[in-house]
Amino acid sequence: MGGGADRSAPVRAEESVSGGVDVWSDAVSSHAPDHLLVMVHGILGSTADWQYGANEFVKQLPDHVIVHCSEKNASMLTLDGVDVMGERLANEVLDVISRRPEITKISFLAHSVGGLAARYAIARLYRHPDSVSDGNTKGTICGLEGINFITVATPHLGSRGNKQVPLLFGSVAMEKVACHIVHWIFRRTGRHLFLTDDDEGLPPLLQRMVEDHDDLYFISALRAFRRRVVYANADCDRILIISAVGNFLYGVHVVCFIVVVYFWLCTSLMDKPDIVGWRTSSIRRNNELPELPVSSSDKYPHIVHEEHSEETDDDKWQDCMAECDMDVLEEKMVTGLGKVSWEKVDVSFHSSMTSFAAHSIIQVKYAFMNEGADVIQHIIDHFQL
């Protein structure tokens, strides 16, 4: 596990030729770190989004990790589609590995849509084991041992679903309209999130990403990691509102901005704001969402629930369809991702003054909103080396 190191260790950051930022400790050490941690930002993001997290990792684990903050999908490039983002990220990781021959292990820490891009990238980077004669059936991530695959507020099941998107007030009718116009704002990525993409008659991309397909090993790549972890906001996660405002700042028509602000104000006045993705970020069915206690931890005040889910068999979805309030697509994704085990950590900023920005707070995206620092500390303390 991580943690316990000298937090005063100096940090060095340097822009790499791939366009991202490499961060490591500048302290004198007896050996070079051999563990690469790739940090991936979310929609309309940049390397700066993970600045706090990257600095904390190398301060606390100076002899173990080199952090690479990805930037191949910066800003508007995050709207090009999950697959395009994943291909760019895979190429970026290959470039980093080629420049650092001392690296033997790899982990990913991804926020929001970046988690989907990371899942696509590792599927591209997966390599089958050289031999299974010794009983080792795990592959590698481009020759490196996969250790931690961690996502934070990532919509693994997409953003479609009644009461998942606060812009739509939990209205099925409004959601049906949104499915046809979401690409106006979020372009190809929006189609992927709302499961409306239809590339050459294939099923939606997120559905395909729960099985190995041709030369993309989506499940085998996840299984190659020692552990897989999802951190999910249990409430107040407003990714689409915040992202739409950010998108406007990059040039979307003013009418879109006015509509977004209108819906934001209306949902802010609702007694209980709908969540964007507790279920989708934690890869659960409705009836699997736990009752959340008030956190009793002084060290992690915003961590309210933790559990470990074992891998399940492929046929479970047929039994669940009769019991769960889910459509077939979503159930297939839950069951598909359930082929591997997951650690699930539920986070709540419900009592925070800035809870409306929980989607950004959870990763300490902005220095003036640092209430998620305990979440970052939890990630570091449980990080396997």
Q: What is the pLDDT of residue 353?
A: 84
> Quick check: 216 and 256 in contact, CB under 8 A?
no
> What is the pairing mode between strands 11-15 and 21-25?
antiparallel
How many angstroms separate the CA atoms of 42 and 346, rounded? 19
Query: How many whole angstroms separate alpha carbon 134 and alpha carbon 137?
Result: 9
365: phi then psi, degrees, rounded to nearest 5: -65, -35
Q: State residue 131's pLDDT score.
A: 66
The pLDDT value given to residue 137: 73
Task: Say which DSSP state 105 is in.
Answer: E
pLDDT of residue 266: 45
Cα 327 to Cα 196: distance, rounded to the nearest angstrom:
14
pLDDT at 180: 58
* Euclidean distance between CA atoms 35 and 147, whole angstroms: 9
Helix segments in the chain, DSSP class H = 51-60, 82-99, 113-125, 172-193, 205-208, 218-223, 239-249, 254-268, 278-282, 316-320, 328-337, 358-361, 373-381
Query: What is the per-residue pLDDT for 306?
Result: 96
What would the DSSP string read from start to end of 24-39?
EE-S--SS---EEEEE
> Helices 51-60 and 373-381, interaxial angle, to 10°?
40
**Sequence spans of domains, the chain:** 11-157+204-252+275-381
Angstrom distances, CA of residue 293 to CA of 153, 234, 283, 313, 352? 20, 11, 20, 30, 16
What tokens were used for 315? 């046929």
Class of domain 11-157+204-252+275-381: alpha beta
Cβ atoms within 10 Å of 180's Cβ, excluding its own: 10
> Which residues in the chain show pLDDT less than 50?
162-172, 240-255, 257-276
In sequence order, which residues have a C-beta less than 8 Å from that of residue 122 and are 6 or more positions away? 90, 108, 141, 146, 149, 221, 222, 224
User: Other C-beta atoms within 10 Å of 28: how many?
Assistant: 8
What the block records as the tokens of 269 is 């006045």
What distance in Å separates the CA atoms of residue 243 and residue 149, rounded to the nearest whole number?
24
> How close are the terminal C-alpha atoms of the chain, in Å?
6
